[in-house]
Amino acid sequence: MLSNKMIDDALLFYDIKDDKYRAKCYEAYEFLNQSKEHKKKFLMLYEILYEKKDYSLAKLWKVKEKKELFKEVYHPYLPNLLLLSGWNIHFKNMKKYNLDDKQVFIHKKRVKESLTYDIYKRKYYGIRISQMLWASYFINLRILEVGSLQYELVDVNSVTNKKERCIKIHIPRDTKLEIKKVKESLIKSKVEIKKYFKIENPKYYCESWLLSKKVLHLLSDGSNILKFSNLFDIKTGNDCTNDILNFVFEKTKCDDYNTLQEDTSLQTKIKEELIKGVIIKIGIGKLKEDIL
């Protein structure tokens, strides 16, 4: 399963041409070869990500530090390697679902982003566990991207928590949420979801800090986020401070909110709330029936 050739093939598949990146992946592979314990853990995680189709990733999503998975001594590129090791499964799933060229391009692009964003943009040593998990959804063909939104096939209703095949809406990074494009995406998604997921007229949900009532209260009437929120019937979920730090401030944690940057008006307003001790809770929205 794992070899330097596999690494080369995976990097070629996702169009990553960075020799330094390749060398770090080779180092991680060599590290595994020298540690039976880490190799055993690696294979177990591989099974969870790609082979046990009914396995819930909920526990892994709660893992924030790599040392929780790999103990104190580990190579920081092990999550990269786990993600790259699924490239052939991604290729087979593309064929199995008969993805068109546009979806193939999007899928490769999104996995490449997960493999590189933390390293090139955030200057981390290796990718976060969350990036590995998120990209595995694309590899396992659980997500389609249509226009400005992404659509994940889930087996549990976000509102009732009962077993039901539904669609969870995600907003890609840097999306401006122009309401016209959002509605176009929603309408077109019905065709794509029927084509690839074989579901007609599914229920749509969105769980996001963007739908938090606290956040929405801070926005002006003409805000794209506010217009987006009006498409949903929203209930309040759990604390989403970590999501706020991640998506608004691009930080995994913060011990002193006073140090948070204020490059945008939204950052400034949310920072003020955090400093005051306000708990920001996630919004769970059900798409209104008259939207589609």
The pTM score is 0.93
Tell me: the pLDDT tens digits for 11-31?
Answer: 999 999 999 999 999 999 999
Q: What is the mean pLDDT of the chain?
A: 93
Q: How confident is the model at residue 64 (pLDDT cuts 50, 70, 90)?
A: confident
Give percent of the chain with pLDDT exceeding 70: 98
Buried b (16+ CB within 10 A) or exposed e, 45-58: bbebbbeeeeeeee
* DSSP of 75-116: -TTHHHHHHHTTHHHHHHHHHHTT--HHHHHHHHHHHHHHHH
Q: What is the mean pLDDT of residues 271-276?
A: 96
- C-alpha distances out from residue 164 to 118, 158, 167, 212, Å: 34, 9, 10, 24
**Amino acid letter for position 73:** V
Tell me: the pLDDT tens digits for 108-166?
Answer: 999 999 999 999 999 999 999 999 999 999 999 999 999 999 999 998 888 888 889 99
Which value, in Å, is the radius of gyration of the alpha carbons in the chain? 20
**Amino acid letter for position 216:** L
